[in-house]
Amino acid sequence: MKTHRRIGSSLLLLTVSVALDLSGAENFKPVEERDFGKMPDGALVKLFTLRNSNGLSVKIINYGAIITEIQAPDRTGAFTNVLLGTNNLDAYLKGFPAAAAVIGRFANRIAKARFTLDGVEYKLAANSGQNHIHGGRVGFAKVLWDARALPSRPREAAVRLSYLSNDGEEGYPGNLTARVTYTLTEENELRIDYEATTDKATPVNLTNHAYFNLAGFGDVLDHELWLAADRYTPADAQLIPTGEIATVKGTPLDFTMPTPIGARIEKLKPKPGGYDHNFVLKSDGKTLLLAARARDPKSGRVMEMRTTQPAVQLYTGNHLKHGGFCLETQHYPDSVNHPEFPSTILRPGETFKTTTAFAFSAK
């Protein structure tokens, strides 16, 4: 059956179905491609569906490299879309408020919309008060990426998207080529591999802004969350880091034990309406480490997140009445203005590489 719900003014489509064994189906296609719509200039937008033999499926469009849907089973085997999204391109073009898009060149905030690199000051779009956020007014989330399905591999289905960000775009230096590969495995894991190269030194901080709701409806305040993070970066009223690294112990930010997301949300000071905080992970930049686990107690759905990134931004859909939560794996906000933070500078001859993976199960 199909059910619909509204978040704000946007319609989100949730599909519930019975679990199927697709391993022997003659018509089973690990990757399927079809038209999704057209851009205002007539350019065609494509939809790629990745499937595995367990029935899990992921849908991705090449506008914004957006994930539009993830179908995952509950403890009874019933499938539901666990990602906020829409099947309507026009809704994305008009600013759908919960798009699971790739964010770049720089995820999160840059103070006063400027930074200095190699003695040169660069001014960016001030699209969050006086600050810069998520790559600018367009960034990577509102452009058409080149996309192609990768040849089928045992136990994997994948699509690769690429985008050339020209020198000066949104104020950033260098011609940057970004590549994102989405891979669905037989282990019910969606892996996201990011790569980028440049011909001039430039900041790079890529993430995906997916909003998850493991129940498929309602709010996520009763979702249990565990984070492998005992420290965070305190921020000012504009959510710009102060430069301090602080402990979560004794604060509402302590998710080192599984805790309902809404258990201490009212204790946040100052109150931004919910969580929008950067947590520090114990990452070496190469190893894919378990960083988060979320569970919906009603359906039994569990999502584990692994990443090579040094941090994760927890955002609880505060503008959506907590209809979804984000685990945005990334570098620290405003890193380019904090030399004490892990560097986000990519130089010619180097390759930016990170991986984040989301694994789905139920119990």
Q: Is the dihedral of CA 2, 303, 310, 346 positive or negative?
A: negative
CA dist 328 and 61 (Å) reads 19
DSSP codes, 53-67: TTS-EEEEESBTT-E
CA dist 314 and 311 (Å) reads 10
- Give the SS3 label for residue 15: strand
Contact 190, 184 (CB under 8 A): yes
Residue 87 identity: N
Say whether 209 is catalytic. yes
CA dist 105 and 285 (Å) reads 19
Contact 173, 200 (CB under 8 A): yes
Q: Is the dihedral of CA 328, 331, 332, 336 positive or negative?
A: negative
Contact 305, 324 (CB under 8 A): no
Contact 335, 313 (CB under 8 A): no
As a residue count, the chain comes to 363
List the Cα angle 23/24/25 in 5-degree steps: 100
209, 223, 322, 338: which is the annotated catalytic residue? 209
CA dist 84 and 98 (Å) reads 6
Say whether 328 is catalytic. yes
DSSP codes, 263-297: SSGGG-SS--SS-EEEEEP---SSS-EEEEEEE-T
How many Cβ atoms from other residues are within 10 Å of residue 120's Cβ?
A: 9
CA dist 92 and 96 (Å) reads 5
69, 328, 331, 338: which is the annotated catalytic residue? 328
Token code pair at residue 192: 């996201």
Residues annotated as part of the active site: 209, 328
